[in-house]
Amino acid sequence: MIQAENNRLLFPNLSGLPEGIRAPLLEQSQYLVYGELKEWQGPKNEIFSPVIFSENGSLKRVRLGSYPEMDAEAMDEVLNAAHKAYDLGRGEWPTMKVSSRIRHVEKFLHVMQGLRKETINWLMWEIGKSEADSAAEFDRTTEYIMDTIQALKTMDRESARLELHQDIYAQVRRGPLGVVLCMGPYNYPLNETFATLIPALIMGNTVIFRPARYGILLMRAFLDAFKECFPPGVINVIYGDGETTAGTLMKSGRIDVLAFIGSSRVANILKKQHPRSNRLRSVLGLDAKNPAIILADADIEAAANECVNGALAFNGQRCTALKMIFVHRSIVKEFLKIYCAKVEQLKMGLPWEKDVNITPLPEPGKPAYLHELVQDALSKGAGICNEGGGNAYESFYAPTVLYPVNSTMRIFEEEQFGPVVPILAFDNVEEPISYMVTSQYGQQVSIFGKDAGEIANLIDPLVNQVCRVNINTKCQRGPDVYPFNGRKDSAEGTLSVNDALRVFSIRTMVATRDTEDNRALFTSILEDRSSNFLSTDFIL
């Protein structure tokens, strides 16, 4: 049990863990290449949990194990594996019937469902995510896979027919793009990774997958599942630092699609490394600093609830988190009072504690970075408005509400990705609008208010600044059937259950002139079921 005491957090002994909670330990020495789990003979990196314990009077991050630090030379082997399986589009996987690829993914889903308990445990220990949020991440991912299968069946049914236009018969379907390099973020190492990995696979691409910066060891059990459920080379899993692994892969020019959720800085470096940029497609989820705009007539209580959750769920480590709150000056005092009271109710603790909200941060340098942002704001006129705000202890950073924030402060532009909430007062709604227009980010906004006319006037200009305008609702990605994307430095391409199938594929067709001979030829192929592509079979 962690308790706040004298603005410090006290950590328990490892022996004081509750029943059923144990730190996992895994010396992960294998990588997956062409259906084989290979032993990595080179150097390894150690992984430490953001969860800290006291041992013999000193505080220590719990060691969780180690993973392979693969080098540039090893990238050739995985590239060759992925290319061999794709075989320039002639491989078994890219030419397979859609219904057969679906069966592989269904088998994977079945195996994955057996990994729920251990994955939740790893999420708690590797990235400090609360048990409830870890369970939600796992369940949302399996649901996403089920929805993806249904969406592909629907898409396939819609293309299970021939069209006739201007005496040309055609069957149009979606085909794979090639070899995909897939990398997810540490805040959703399972969900956001699989939200690109599964659509990429199911559309017939082959994949090289590198786990997120944190949330690495949780993937070990999935290597067995990948090996068991997919043909050799269809999915290959590598480990190691991004510059060495992803950089080498991109420089090879043999990556067809970059699927990356992370910073725009890294995405730009990776894209530039590819020697034939015209051949590279990118599916990117990048930086964001979503603002909330609280209008003068807003229901303050309801807005505060949405903004506490919107800004501080998983310690503010969501790309969709509210990272700037603009409040009309006429209600800012009342809003701050209600907002801070709610923030003070948030429970700090270890991930498995009941109803915990604020948990340890996985990035070792994050508390120091947040401290810098807060000190910078304080030195330029902001104050900390909530009790306990500004306190850091080891891997914890207490939720911190800053007011009044202004444009000279670093927090005004930098994406804090942590539990610091900057609040600004505005007199004229043009002020937050101008913030959005000039911002480098363009993901979402939340508007809180009651006046239909005023909100309608905001919707029209703001839908062209961001890609989702939330009314009296926090910013969020889900439900996953809705498009998830962004403008400017926030994204490239659109993800959703349906859109992801499209971004990892290209429309391709078979066509013929409407003559008696050609009709007979097509009829014969269709009746004999001799092509997987030219087919009117209906997947039920």
Interacting residue ranges for ligand G3H, rule: CB under 6 A: 187-188, 192, 318-320, 476-478
Dihedral sign from CA coordinates of 224, 226, 229, 234: negative
Cα distance between residue 5 and residue 276, in whole Å:
57
188: left (phi over 0), alpha (psi -120 to 50) or beta: beta
Distance of closest approach, residue 439 Cβ to ligand G3H, in angstroms: 18
Cα–Cα nearest to 303, from 420, 472, 476: 472
Distance of closest approach, residue 285 Cβ to ligand G3H, in angstroms: 7
Instruction: Compute how many other C-beta atoms are within 10 angstroms of the C-beta atom of residue 532.
Output: 14
Q: Which is nearer to ligand G3H, 83 or 474 (CB)?
A: 474
Q: Which is nearer to ligand G3H, 101 or 318 (CB)?
A: 318
- Location of structure tokens 């725009």: 264
Which residues on adjacent β-strands are paired with residue 25?
none
Q: Which is nearer to ligand G3H, 134 or 476 (CB)?
A: 476
Give the orientation angle of helix 264-273 with respect to helix 242-251, to 10 degrees.
Answer: 40
Strand pairing of 58-68 and 26-27? parallel
Distance of closest approach, residue 478 Cβ to ligand G3H, in angstroms: 5
Q: Are 157 and 540 in contact (CB under 8 A)?
A: no
**Using only C-alpha atoms, what is the Rg of the chain?**
25
Dihedral angle of Cα 422, 134, 231, 155, to the nearest 10 degrees: -70
Distance of closest approach, residue 314 Cβ to ligand G3H, in angstroms: 7
Distance of closest approach, residue 488 Cβ to ligand G3H, in angstroms: 17
Distance of closest approach, residue 127 Cβ to ligand G3H, in angstroms: 12
Cα–Cα nearest to 422, from 438, 437, 410, 435: 410
Q: Which is nearer to ligand G3H, 33 or 466 (CB)?
A: 466
Cα distance between residue 152 and residue 120, in whole Å:
28
Distance of closest approach, residue 140 Cβ to ligand G3H, in angstroms: 8
Q: Which is nearer to ligand G3H, 11 or 314 (CB)?
A: 314
Amino acid at 294: I
Q: Which is nearer to ligand G3H, 461 or 478 (CB)?
A: 478
Q: How many Cα neighbours within 13 Å face the side chain of 274?
A: 20
Cα distance between residue 120 and residue 134, in whole Å:
5
Distance of closest approach, residue 185 Cβ to ligand G3H, in angstroms: 6
Structure tokens at 3: 């308790």
Q: Are 435 and 291 in contact (CB under 8 A)?
A: yes
Q: Which is nearer to ligand G3H, 318 or 328 (CB)?
A: 318
Distance of closest approach, residue 188 Cβ to ligand G3H, in angstroms: 6
Cα distance between residue 419 and residue 2, in whole Å:
18
Cis peptide before 479 (omega within 30 of 0): yes
- Location of structure tokens 């769920």: 313
Dihedral angle of Cα 83, 88, 90, 92, to the nearest 10 degrees: 20
Structure tokens at 442: 């363009």
Q: Which is nearer to ligand G3H, 429 or 467 (CB)?
A: 467
Q: Which is nearer to ligand G3H, 69 or 143 (CB)?
A: 143
Structure tokens at 446: 């939340």
- DSSP per residue, 305-360: HHHHHHHHGGGG--TTSEEEEEEEGGGHHHHHHHHHHHHHHPPB--TTSTT--B--
Q: Which is nearer to ligand G3H, 395 or 476 (CB)?
A: 476
What would you measure as the largest C-alpha separation in the chain, in angstroms?
88
Distance of closest approach, residue 109 Cβ to ligand G3H, in angstroms: 20
Q: Are 254 and 79 in contact (CB under 8 A)?
A: yes
Distance of closest approach, residue 319 Cβ to ligand G3H, in angstroms: 3
Cα distance between residue 213 and residue 50, in whole Å:
13
Q: Which is nearer to ligand G3H, 101 or 323 (CB)?
A: 323
Distance of closest approach, residue 230 Cβ to ligand G3H, in angstroms: 25
Distance of closest approach, residue 441 Cβ to ligand G3H, in angstroms: 13
Q: Which helix (H) or strand (E) holds 516?
A: helix 516-528
Q: Which is nearer to ligand G3H, 142 or 532 (CB)?
A: 142
Q: Which is nearer to ligand G3H, 187 or 386 (CB)?
A: 187
